[in-house]
Amino acid sequence: MTRSAILDAGSDFLRTRPFRDLTVGLLMAGTEYSRPTFYLYFNDLHGLMETLLGEVKGEIVDGARAWLSNEGNAISGLQQSLAALVEVAHEHGTILKAVADAAPSDARLERVWDTFLASFDEVVSARIAQDQAAGLTPEFDPLPVARALNRMDAGVLIQAFGSVEKAEKDKVLSAIMRIWLSTLYPFDATASLERIGD
């Protein structure tokens, strides 16, 4: 109860102001509780961010399923997954930026964030290897490419949707879509990219 009131106050704060402006005092001023109460439910502000990230993580994993659990066409699955990813990032962009901002100032949170990103490297890499075996994707070392594509997504999405003035979803989507498709499915990419237009 109290705990989720604090989490809500945190989300609300970060919707309009950056993580660097967040203090325990300000945070708790957004609730009906006093400053020390915060420490009953979280170790520090970074602990709060860790919890907020956990909430968003679920949605992202769900959205990515279309491509990762490979049923149906690879290309359209990827298109679906990226679209879902953009959707979630647009929704929770401020939280994602806040976590990314907070991470470097705390060893533990930095680990959590890195692990979060690395978890996608694993699964994307696996899916690439599979498509390579199927002859859909050229041969190359999948892991570094997966890492690069994921870092791209993270950087782009946080930059585009991390603050109040958000970029246009469709421009962002078609840019990263193009890069994923031409890297992973170059043989079919031309057709697919023409289909979505530019």
Minimum distance of DNA from residue 55's CB (angstroms): 20
Residue in 56, 42, 2 with CA at minimum distance from that of residue 22: 42
**152 scored as a contact of a second copy (CB under 8 A):** yes
Q: Hey, what amino acid is at 69?
A: S
The whole-angstrom separation of Cα 24 and Cα 157 is 28
Structure tokens at 134: 């199927």
* Residue 105 makes contact with DNA by CB under 7 A: no
If one asks whether residue 18 binds a second copy (CB under 8 A), the answer comes out as yes
Closer residue to a second copy (CB): 5 or 145: 145
Residue 182 near which of a second copy, DNA, none (CB within 5-8 Å, type-dependent)? a second copy
What is the distance, to the nearest Å, from the Cα of residue 165 to the centroid of all Cα atoms in its chain?
18
CA-to-CA distance for 27 and 53, rounded, in angstroms? 17
Does the footprint of a second copy cover residue 147 (CB under 8 A)?
yes
Options 54-62, 71-79, 85-93, 139-147: segment touching a second copy (CB under 8 A): 139-147
Look up residue 87 and give its two tokens.
């959707």
191 near a second copy, judged by CB under 8 A: no
What does the block give as tokens for 107?
Answer: 């060893």
Cα atoms found within 13 Å of the Cα of residue 175, Cβ hemisphere only: 13
The footprint of a second copy (CB under 8 A) covers 18-20, 100-102, 104-107, 138-141, 144-145, 147-149, 151-152, 154-156, 159, 171-172, 174-176, 178-179, 182-183, 186, 189-190, 193, 198
